[in-house]
Amino acid sequence: MTSTEAPWRDIARRKQAQRAAAIPRKWRLRNLPKEGPQYGSQPVLHIPLDGRILSPSELAITELYNAKTLVDALSTNKLTCLAVTTAFCKRAAIAQQVTNCLTEPLFTSALARAKELDNYLSSNGNPMGPLHGLPITVKDSFNIIGVDSSLGLASLCFKPATSNSTLVDLLLSLGCVIIAKTNVPQTLAALDSNNNVFGRTMNPINRRMTAGGSSGGEGVMVAMKGCMVGWGTDIGGSIRIPAMCNGVYGFKPSNGRVPYGKQQDAGGVAGMSRIGMQAVAGPLARSVEDIDFVMREVVPRAELWGEDCLPATWGSGMAVTRSGENDKFVIGIMRGDGNCELLPPIRKVIDEVAEVLRRTPGVQVVDVPTPPAWTKCQSLMNKFFGIDGGEAMADLIEETGEPLVPWMVGRFQRGKPRSLREVAELQARRTDLEREMLDVWNSNTDSGRVRKIDAMVCPVAAHPVPEIDRWNAVGYTSSFVLLDYPAGTVPVRDFNKDDLELGKEMGGKIIGGWDRRSRELWDEKVVDRTVYLGTPLSVQVITPRQQDQRLVVAMRIIDEAIHQKKPMSKL
């Protein structure tokens, strides 16, 4: 380091060298795609399939199983944990080299863990747990003993955790193997996973587009099949948005369903969540079935591990009531939040899903006008995001002379913390909005108060997956953290030529600033719409508070309908 160089630069070099050294030489690729979106879209999803690193049997392991069938094969010794872990470590190493999605490759410890699991099965005749050998990754914010939780901040590098996060301990007790930790944005408050220490995570579908944030590395790892299930966190959309960007499934549970505690405190602000908004942890996966499979093991045990969790059950035998006539599952369609008009391809895909559901046996579809309470949620949520004034995060950034990454310039600055009275007033407004939203779900009848809608479908965002650093407002996702509704992302299809509508302007009255910026993503004077071709189009599914298993049922109904899948079971 030169005397005039800011300290963060040397720290970043050493951290990146440490990460690179964790990838064995024989797993390294030649002729890597050039870094940065300026070199074109360069899709990289196909690279693990070329046979240079993974053998045919390893490709089969990472491609052909779902979470349940893989665990079944591992638990009956049809596959060894060592073989499976090796295959996924190799695939994760490839993903890192072509997308920059990892912060901490944990291949050495993962392989050692795999050997322990194989020895346990051999010695005891039983698997270690119900998720025996399942290869997973976790967001960088989760603590693992002896490993950094730097959050991409130079001031937190080379300070390894001395204890595990609660969810990590729970997942290890179930038999999981942790392959790696994944990349996040600076401050954890951006929708593009880019920081000064590790750099930008690239979208494997189109490197010009954002991979999402803040669990962007997790979204990429699941899409690249470098793990079976990834674990992220969500306070504004940080699970659902990366799921949308990478064409995978994401699940934000209700508060209290999955242990969140003992993550990287990032300057002592963990207590702020108890007076402001509480983030939640949840899975990203390749299918609804994989989400269901891991949640049925995590949720019933969560209260035993997490001080922040509630007693709950989860199982295939649980009856999920239906609110429609003749026992139909009622799905509401909400087409806009009142702050951002849907761009044409998003409006189109919502209409397509609604039409498919109308033709689905056992489903009743109702249109839900934009609730005024939903329109008010984004503004209130933005106030909650800034209740601490950003002081602790600003201290961490300034400690090593880090600059703000481009997306954060103009969006993050040291502010003044809100007073206790101001926070109390915000919470009171939140309560009012929660009460108003009850009338969207429920109605009064002669026999009392009853539920009229079982689940709702709405967009994840008003726009398609945008180019890097161009994500607009988060009201379509953050609102459901404010309301504490479980919410999930279901991919529908890819953006195609019929969606372009070249030469056709959007029209309509601009609602406000958020809407104006969103419309720019469709304005042919500002963006070449063909950049969206091949990117995923998804929908968001929500259910009432604490109705997490109902959400999985709803996601499965919608997923099976739009992809014409054979139903897994009677719902």
- In the structure, what pLDDT confidence band is assigned to residue 316 with cuts at 50, 70 and 90? low
| Mean pLDDT to the nearest integer, 286-315 | 97
User: Contact at 8 Å (CB) between 42 and 207?
Assistant: yes
* DSSP letter (8 states) at residue 276: S
pLDDT above 90 for 428: yes
Predicted local confidence at residue 131, as pLDDT: 98
Q: What digits encode the pLDDT tens for the residues 91-150?
A: 999 999 999 999 999 999 999 999 999 999 999 999 999 999 999 999 999 999 999 999
- In the structure, what pLDDT confidence band is assigned to residue 266 with cuts at 50, 70 and 90? confident
Q: In total, how many domains does the chain have?
A: 1
Measured distance CA(210)–CA(8) in Å, rounded:
25
Active site residue 214: yes
Measured distance CA(528)–CA(518) in Å, rounded:
14
Residue 209 resides in a domain: yes
State percent of the chain over pLDDT 70: 96
Task: Assign residue 286 the CATH number of its domain.
Answer: 3.90.1300.10
Active site residue 238: yes
Tell me how many degrees the CA angle 293-168-279 measures, rounded to the nearest 5: 85
Residue 263 resides in a domain: yes
pLDDT above 60 for 569: no
The per-residue pLDDT of the chain, averaged, comes to: 95
pTM for the full predicted model: 0.97
* DSSP letter (8 states) at residue 466: P
Residue 277 resides in a domain: yes
pLDDT above 80 for 271: no
Helix (H) or strand (E) holding 177: strand 177-182
Active site residue 478: no
**Residues 6+ away with beta carbon under 8 Å from 551:** 251, 455, 486, 487, 488, 541, 542, 543
Predicted local confidence at residue 41, as pLDDT: 73
Predicted local confidence at residue 283, as pLDDT: 99
**The one catalytic residue among 214, 215, 479, 538:** 214
Q: What digits encode the pLDDT tens for the residues 358-404?
A: 999 999 999 999 999 999 999 999 999 989 999 999 999 999 999 99
Long-range contacts of 59-66 (CB under 8 A, 24+ apart): 59/87, 61/87, 61/88, 62/87, 62/88, 62/91, 62/225, 63/225, 65/228, 66/228, 66/286, 66/287, 66/289, 66/290, 66/293
**The one catalytic residue among 15, 139, 252, 262:** 139
Residue 571 resides in a domain: no
Residue 569 resides in a domain: no
Residue 567 resides in a domain: no
| Number of CB atoms found within 10 A of residue 72's CB | 15
Tokens of 548: 């997490």
Residue 284 bridge partners (DSSP): 230, 250
| Mean pLDDT to the nearest integer, 258-277 | 83
Pick the range with the lowest mean pLDDT from 10-14, 267-271, 290-294: 267-271
Q: What digits encode the pLDDT tens for the residues 211-230?
A: 999 999 999 999 999 999 99
Measured distance CA(189)–CA(184) in Å, rounded:
9
| Number of CB atoms found within 10 A of residue 189's CB | 20
Helices assigned H by DSSP within 342-442: 344-358, 372-385, 391-399, 420-441
pLDDT above 50 for 558: yes
pLDDT above 60 for 267: no
Measured distance CA(258)–CA(481) in Å, rounded:
14
Residue 43 resides in a domain: yes
**Distance, CA of 554 to chain centre:** 18
Expressed as residue numbers, the domain containing 55 is: 7-562
* DSSP letter (8 states) at residue 394: H
Predicted local confidence at residue 570, as pLDDT: 44
CA distances from 460 to 346, 456, 492, 500 (A): 9, 12, 12, 19
Q: What digits encode the pLDDT tens for the residues 18-28?
A: 999 999 999 99
Residue 191 resides in a domain: yes
**The one catalytic residue among 165, 238, 478, 518:** 238
User: Contact at 8 Å (CB) between 351 and 345?
Assistant: no
